[in-house]
Amino acid sequence: MDARPKRARIADVAREAGVSKTAVSFAFNSPERLNAETAAKIREVANALGYRHRADTRSTVARVSKTVGLLTPHALSVMFSDPFYTELAAGVASQTDGAGYGLVFVPRFNGSLARAIGRTGVDGFVVVGLAEDQAEVEQIRRAGLPMALIDRVALPEHASVESSDEVGARTAARHLLALGHREFVVIAVAPPNVAGGFDDSVEPNDIVAWRRLTGYRQGLELGGVKLRDERIVSGPSTFDGGVAAFHRIWDDGLRPTAILAMSDALAIGVMWAAREIGLHVPEDLSVVGFDDLEMAPHSYPPLTTVHQPIRGKGEEAARLLLRMIASPDLERPEHKILDTRLIIRASTSSARPRGMVVPRHLRTGLERGALGR
């Protein structure tokens, strides 16, 4: 058994001194950012615990750079082509600009997000799309940098912002039930697996997808409809992802009268693919998206969707992060849940009787046959 005493860590000092890890980092690297009494107390506790500050960690711990990092596992090409991320980033930038801070997009460096973090000298991070137990998040925590998490489980020592995803999904499902729909398919947003494909399973650690799926299930069950696993497909949150998902649904013999898509991009792709095979939206197929992107009211037909304040989410995350940077001894960072609401447009209508969904290219022949009898 290893009898060596456990070396004190930055978290131990923070806990004993009753401050954040960011404050401990500042006490050694930027003491001018703390009042003299707080800095002295932290150093006293650190000495008592035998905490040894390593000067060579200055490249990855908090320091005054007047810069905020936006951290996401996605490549920059994905971020800049996805309307969700561009709107979110605009919200973050509106706050950093106003506070005189720069904004740095942090992509992978030589294939490694961890290496990218180590090379980024920022005062804190807005973190999107990373789970709280991922190595990159833990790396930021160990360094004592403040961060604001978007759409993740809240961490006590860091700020977080999320939307009421379950409520919004439940409302969308109940809207379709009220229109008489009973045959549903859900299209989930799923990250790529190791092989580069997409799984149809939605795991609990995919927080946003899991919460929305839970909301859909709850809403449908209130109307006596059980969502079976084979009626859940998934793919990338893109127009092409929606097209591919619809073709999979149709090729598998599923004939829903309503589709609940976890993003507007998916929903718009679904509507396009449905029209290509001759279906009318919403007469033959009602479609509901999620996000309420700027394109949603301009799609054909205008998309019924769950509105979430995407830009507001970025603004709030940046605001909370800047507050943590300005007050490193802040004991309880805020955790915000922003409201969602259903926006009803023209992509949903009352359900046709079961068995009435017939592609347009088949209708002409059927109608001629009926006339000939």
Among the ranges 111-120, 249-258, 347-356, which has the highest mean pLDDT value?
Answer: 249-258
Is 252 or 7 the better-scoring residue by pLDDT? Answer: 252
367 — pLDDT class (breaks 50, 70, 90)? very low
Same CATH fold, 59-162+311-337 and 1-53? no
> Looking at residue 79, what is its pLDDT?
80
363 — pLDDT class (breaks 50, 70, 90)? very low
Q: What is the mean pLDDT of the chain?
A: 84
How far is it, in rounded angstroms, from Cα 127 to Cα 137? 8
The DSSP code for 303 is: P
- Does 36 score more than 90 pLDDT? no
- Does 209 score more than 60 pLDDT? yes
To which CATH superfamily is domain 59-162+311-337 assigned?
Response regulator (3.40.50.2300)
> Looking at residue 56, what is its pLDDT?
38
> Looking at residue 179, what is its pLDDT?
97
4 — pLDDT class (breaks 50, 70, 90)? very low
Name beta bridge partners: 233: 187
> Looking at residue 169, what is its pLDDT?
98
Q: What is the pLDDT of residues 107-142, one digit of tens each?
A: 765 566 766 777 778 899 999 988 777 777 877 877
> Looking at residue 144, what is its pLDDT?
78
> Looking at residue 5, what is its pLDDT?
47
Is 333 or 30 the better-scoring residue by pLDDT? Answer: 333
Domain boundaries, the chain: 1-53, 59-162+311-337, 165-308+342-358
Cβ(294)–Cβ(264) below 8 Å: no
Predicted TM-score (pTM) of the model is 0.77
Sheet holding 124-128: strands in order across?
A: 102-106, 67-71, 124-128, 147-150, 159-163, 335-338
Cβ(239)–Cβ(265) below 8 Å: yes
How far is it, in rounded angstroms, from Cα 164 to Cα 294? 20
How far is it, in rounded angstroms, from Cα 44 to Cα 329? 16
25-34, 187-196, 312-321, 326-335, range with the lowest pLDDT: 187-196
The fold for domain 165-308+342-358 equals Rossmann fold (3.40.50)
> Looking at residue 247, what is its pLDDT?
97
The domain 1-53 is placed in CATH, from the list 3.20.190.10, 3.40.1360.10, 1.10.260.40, 2.30.30.180, at 1.10.260.40
Q: What is the pLDDT of residues 174-206, one digit of tens each?
A: 999 999 999 999 999 976 443 344 455 565 558
In this prediction, what percent of the chain has a pLDDT beyond 90? Answer: 53
> Looking at residue 68, what is its pLDDT?
96
Sheet holding 341-343: strands in order across?
A: 232-235, 184-189, 258-261, 286-291, 304-307, 341-343
62 — pLDDT class (breaks 50, 70, 90)? very low
